[in-house]
Amino acid sequence: VRAIGIDVGGTKVAVAAVDANGRVVARAEFPTDPARGFPRARDLMAEACDNVLSLAGWAAADLAGIGVGCTGPVDPARGTVHNPHTLPTWDGCDLVTPLRERLGVPVTLDNDAAAAAVGEAAFGAGRGADPVVVLTFGTGVGGATVVGGRVLRGAGGAHPEPGHLPVLVDGPACYCGGRGCLESVASGTAIGEAGRRAGLADARAVFAAAARGDAAAGQIVARAAEGLAAAAWLIAHAVLPERLVLGGGVMDEHFDVFAAAARDRLAAATMVPGERVRVVRAALGADAGVVGAARLGATAAG
């Protein structure tokens, strides 16, 4: 099964030709540049599809489908984007129809966290396990649950938002209206902001200072790890996944401290077999988005 995966982020769009084993055969990318409007990006997306097909030596007729994972919220049923925060000029735009008409194959849209989760579950750190929960720690905290190879959708097709699980009762107020959300204590943004209040430049500086034994920095990292441990506890009791996959910029370098906190907490569970939830590091890196989007595109048709 051959497919194209498209990963639309706030800063760049990545397009890849992906084979049946989840391998990226050819890739292209361009800046999202939302200030320049949707029609430009729509045309560049179609051109990039043509480019990766030609680089891979494939024809459009070889494709099982195209999947688009877009920074959300999105409406998968209508194929439209509704993200006034990072894609203001794309609000309500249809990503699916132009690609389907131009390439003549089925096109599926989902949010980027769902695409990355499907990629990790099918070809990465979740391979062979079911169900799989994937949490991605970057600017925010995204996540999704994959059951039987399919991403779990909620009421009306909408996605749950595990980044807004409340994990610290006395935690900071979150823009969602809640308090002590996982995202507001453990995202790169949250760690960086807490660091600035302690006189540190950014999240990287916080981790570096913590490693040198700086008490304030150590406390910020400990609080983020504590937040993740509480989230792992909630997820284990609500979903009991076989694997909890942790990815994103924060986990690329600091997985061990977060995984240790989550494992310690899970080991203390008495109502569920917490030790059966394996906490693992994401394996696909930045490719999770395009690989998962391609998988969504290939499987939606079948």
Q: Which amino acid is at 174?
A: C
Applying CB under 5 A, does 166 fall inside the site for Zn ion?
Answer: no
Of the candidates 59, 176, 211, 267, which one interacts with Zn ion according to CB under 5 A? Answer: 176
Applying CB under 5 A, does 178 fall inside the site for Zn ion?
Answer: yes
Helix 188-197 / helix 249-267 crossing angle, nearest 10 deg: 90
Residue closer to Zn ion by CB (options 174, 203) is 174
Tokens of 35: 């200030």
DSSP string, 71-121: SS-EETTTTEE--TTT-GGGTT-BSHHHHHHHH-S-EEEEEHHHHHHHHHH
Binding residues among 35-64 for Zn ion as defined by CB under 5 A: none
Of the candidates 174, 185, 266, 277, which one interacts with Zn ion according to CB under 5 A? Answer: 174
Applying CB under 5 A, does 201 fall inside the site for Zn ion?
Answer: no
| Min dist. Cβ of residue 289 to Zn ion (A) | 22
Q: Which residues pair with 83 in a beta bridge?
A: none
Stretch that binds Zn ion, among 18-26, 33-41, 98-106, 175-183 (CB under 5 A): 175-183
| Min dist. Cβ of residue 191 to Zn ion (A) | 15
Of the candidates 2, 164, 243, 254, which one interacts with Zn ion according to CB under 5 A? Answer: 164
Sign of the Cα torsion 261, 265, 266, 267 reads positive
| Min dist. Cβ of residue 242 to Zn ion (A) | 27
SS3 of 201, please? coil
Applying CB under 5 A, does 231 fall inside the site for Zn ion?
Answer: no
β-strand pairing of 24-31 with 12-18: antiparallel
| Min dist. Cβ of residue 233 to Zn ion (A) | 18
Applying CB under 5 A, does 173 fall inside the site for Zn ion?
Answer: no
Q: Where do we find the tokens 């996605």?
A: 159
| Min dist. Cβ of residue 62 to Zn ion (A) | 43
Residue 17 and residue 79 in contact, taking contact as beta carbons nearer than 8 Å: no
Interacting residue ranges for Zn ion, rule: CB under 5 A? 164, 174, 176, 178, 181
